[in-house]
Every structure is written in C-alpha cells, then in structure tokens.
Amino acid sequence: MKERLSLGAKLGYGIGDYSFNLAYQTAALFFLFYLTDVYGVAAGVAGIVIMVSKVWDAVSDPMMGYITDHTKSRWGSKRPYLLFGAIPLGVMFFLIFYSPDFAQLLGIDDPAKIEKYKVIYITAVFILFCTAITIVNVPYGALTADLTQDSHERSVLTGYRMVFAIIGALFAAAATKILVGLFGSTGVVKDGQEVVDSIFGFRMMGLVYMVLIVVVVLATFFSVKERGGAAKKVEAEKESVIDNLKVIFTNNPFLILISGTILNLTAVLIMAAVVNYFFKYNLDREDMVPIAFLCLFVTAILFMPFFVWLSKKTSKKFTYNVGMGSLSGVLVLIFFFGDKSIVLTIVFFVMAGAGMATNWLSAWSMVPDTIEYSEWKTGIRREGVIYGAFLFGQKLPVAIAAFIAGQTLKFVEFVPNVAQTPEALLGIKALLTLVPIGFILLGIVIISRFPISAGVHRKILEEIEAKR
C-alpha cells in the first residue's frame, strides 16, 4: 500500500509538536532546577511533587484516548481538542512558572508555612498542566494513524513531526535561560556578574511561551483536516473503558514498545534534568547551559534524515537501538572526561545529540504499527486509547527522572547556590551519565524483542484490507 502525503499536510501536522515540546521540554529541562534553585523548594520534595502528578496521568491519559475514540463533532473526533484545549494549555504552562510570593500574599513569615503553600500550589498547577497536555496531545498524536497507513510514509511523517518537536525542544533549551536573564535583568553587578531577578525572569518567560503555545496549537487545528478511514470504529454503547484497557494489555508489540521507551526516555530526561546542575556546579560554567542544549538538539535534527534512511534500509527497532547505544557510549566518555575541559564536554554533547534523535523518531514511528496490530487482532481500530497509553509512557519518565534526580541530590546532601562537596559533585556526574546508561541498556534489551518488521506490517495491512 503506497500513499504519499503532500508537503503541506506534513508541515501542517508536524508544526503542532513544536508547541507541545516547547511546553513539555521546558518543564522537563528546567522545572526541577527552577523549584530548587529559584523558588526555594527542597530537592527531595520537588522530585516527589513532579512524581505525584503522574499518578493522575495514569488515569487521564488512557481515559482521554477513550474519549477521543468516542467523540463525534463537525470537526471530527480529534481536532476539537486542539481548538478548545489550546488556551488552557498555555495558561497552565504560565502558572507553573508564576511562583506566587505567599509571604506577601498571606502576610506570613513562618518558613514552614510558606514551604507548605508552595508545595500545595506547585502540585496543583503541575497536575493541571499535565492534564492540559493530555487533553490536546492525545488526540494530536492519534492523527498520525489517520493520515497514512504506509509504514515508511509514517516514518517520514513522524520525521517532520519530530523535527518540529526538536525545534520546540531546542527553543526551550537554548532560549529559556536567555529570556530569564533578559527579563530578570536588574543592572546590578555583584562579584563581576549581574544580579538576575530569576523569579520575575521565569514568570515573563512563561508568559512569552504561553502565547507561542496557544498560537501554534490553533494553527495546527486550522491547517489539518481529519480524513477518517475505512476501519471499523469503536461504538460507545458497546465498548467500555475496561474493554479498551484490555486492548492495551493484550497488545504485546505495544507493551514491548512502551516498556522500552519508558526506560530510554527516563535515561534521557535524567540526563537533561541534571545538565543545569552539572554545568553550574561541576564546571562552574552555568552560562554554557544554552550552548550545551543547543548542541544536543541541533545535532539531533541534523541526524534525523539519516535515521529515517537507516530505518528504511534496516528496521525501526535496529535504528532505535543503534541511536540509544551510541548515546550510552558517549555518556561513558562524559563520566571519565567531561569535567576535564569545557571544550571537550561540548564536543561530547554534540556526539550525544546524534543518538538522542532516535529517542523521538523511532519510538513515535513504531506506535502506528501497534495500532494496526491491534486492529488486525481485534477487528476494531482504537488510535486514541493506544496513543493515550503511549503518551502516559512519555510522561511517566518525567516523574521517574525527577524523583531519582531529586532523591539522589538529597542523598548526596546537595545544597543549592553554594559550593558543593566532592560527594555531591560525584552524585551530579553519576546522574548525568551512569544512571542513564543503566536505563538505556535495559531499554535496548526490551526493544530488541519488538516483533513488527516492515514485512510483517505489510502482511498485517493486507489481511486488514481483506477483512474490510
């Protein structure tokens, strides 16, 4: 089955992931650091706060998939959530970096009470932020399987989407610190460095990103049209939530994919969350954080076409494992040599970015194949439920990474904004390198068991077509 999407369709769909990754990656890269070093929340508590929000995600993500599959409107089953979810997503992103001053608002000076209100606030707004992402991103992701059934064309479409995703992540990584410094500029110089009002800087950064998020999501709504398909759709009156969840747990290829992806993404997010700490405390070069992230994401973009080509020539799972395996090799180099020279460290980050590309490209391009497998096995197509479950698999690593990073920093007695002990510095370096390597190796073992090759996928599609 050969289908070719127009360039406009690929761009119109792909650009949507810019907004999601701008929001998602800013939170993943900076939220833990913001809580500990800017808002003054203890590292262990901050990690737990982020983890708690994912308990709700375990319910909301599959539920949103179920709702999407049962939605009927003049805009289709998925596009309405882009239209009505854009503004709530932008607003909730702004609020997670708003950082209210409870001492002034409530007229209290008890540090314990102030800390309590901070924790209540960030827990509530972060849960709402994660819910807003779910409402918009689950339907958006489910559109991939709607646009084409050709396996390679899906890799190409996912490549466009992932390029925009990485551009969004790149903007988040490179621009966030710059914007915080720009908006937080005070003009006061102390010890040779300008004093930055980081609270106000992060707040204004959140406002700018809020506008970008809303505009881009709405642009995707107006540029993408649902085609629908010949597949048998789920009938709400016949299918319960439990029935839909059974589909997930009886879909062996999907379980393999989501398990391996959770491990790989946890590795990447632990690494990403600790970059700020590594450059600030181990290298004493916090100013190089935007450059480091720039190297990671630009290299990932540049290597995306190569991995699309490699995926076509070999297989998606092979490409996935090659990329993640190369990343783990670079992390070994960073552990032994990364704190010896800032130039060498930046070179290693360039090398690491190449492998990181498959973490986005390969994983997302394999999801539609598991949807066809489910349809082939059950006779019913459920894009929303499967994408909802996979999105949860994308968000759970945020919690795992934040929890591990937060608890490790607590264990090594990390204290923000002071010179660190040798034990704390070693803990930060291990979090950046050794811990992610362990997760990657487990992920490679699991992904190696993914059973759907291009040939198997073609046979599945042929049998599905024969049944229709």
Half-sphere exposure of 98 toward its Cβ, with a 13 Å CA cutoff?
17
Q: How far apart are CA 29 and CA 18, in angstroms?
A: 16
Summarize pLDDT for 318-376 with one digit per residue, the tens: 999 999 999 999 999 999 998 888 999 999 999 999 998 898 788 888 998 998 898 89
Summarize pLDDT for 56-101 with one digit per residue, the tens: 877 788 788 788 878 888 888 888 999 999 999 999 999 999 989 8
Domains plus CATH for the chain?
9-467 (1.20.1250.20)
Map tokens 């551009």 to a residue. Answer: 167
- Give the dihedral sign, CA 429/431/435/439: negative
Largest separation between any pair of C-alpha atoms in the chain: 74
Which helix (H) or strand (E) segment holds residue 48: the answer is helix 43-69
The alpha-helical segments, DSSP class H, found in 184-288 are: 198-223, 241-249, 252-277
Q: Please state the φ and ψ torsions of residue 187, each to the nearest 5 degrees.
A: 80, 0
Instruction: State how far the alpha carbon of 73 is from the alpha carbons of 68, 142, 227, 236, 330, in Å.
Output: 11, 16, 13, 14, 49
Question: Which residues fall within 8 angstroms of residue 116, CB to CB, at 6 or more apart?
Answer: none
Summarize pLDDT for 366-378 with one digit per residue, the tens: 998 998 898 898 8
Mean pLDDT, all residues of the chain:
87
Contact by Cβ (8 Å): 248, 364 = no
Percentage of the chain lying above the pLDDT 70 cut: 93
Q: How far apart are CA 421 and CA 429, in angstroms?
A: 13
For the full predicted model, state whether its pTM sits above 0.95: no
